[in-house]
Copies of this chain bind each other. A is one copy, B any other.
Amino acid sequence: MPRPPSAMRRQILDAALRLFAEHGFKGTSLHDIAVEAHCSKASLLYHFAGKDAILTELLTPPAESLTAMSEELTALRGEQAVEPAVTGYVGLAMRFHLEVKIIFAELPDMLGHPVLAVIPRAVDQLADALAGRSREPRARITAQMVIGGVAVTVAADVDADPGTMRTEMVQGALRTLGRPTG
Residue numbers of A with Cβ under 8 A of B are: 22-24, 26-27, 104-109, 137-138, 140-142, 144-153, 156, 158, 160, 164-165, 168-169, 172-173, 175-178, 180
A160 to chain B, nearest CB (A): 5
Q: Please give, as numbers and ranges, the residues of chain B lying within 8 Å of A138 by CB-CB distance.
A: 164, 168
Q: Which applies to chain A's interface (DSSP): helix, strand, loop or mixed?
A: helix
A169: chain B residues at CB < 8 Å are 141, 145
Q: Which residues of B contact A109 (CB under 8 A)?
A: 23-24, 27
Additional A-B contact list (16), CB under 8 Å, known A138-B168, A175-B177:
A22-B108, A24-B106, A24-B108, A27-B106, A27-B109, A105-B108, A140-B160, A141-B160, A142-B168, A144-B149, A145-B153, A147-B149, A148-B149, A148-B152, A149-B152, A175-B176
Distance, CA A167 to CA B173, complexed state (A): 18
**Contact of A137 with B168 in the complex, beta carbons under 8 Å:** yes
| Across-interface contacts of A158 in B (CB, < 8 A) | 140-141, 144
Neighbouring B residues of A24 by C-beta, 8 Å: 26, 106, 108-109
Contacts of A151 in B (CB 8 A): 148, 152
Q: Is the Cβ of A149 less than 8 Å from the Cβ of B156?
A: no
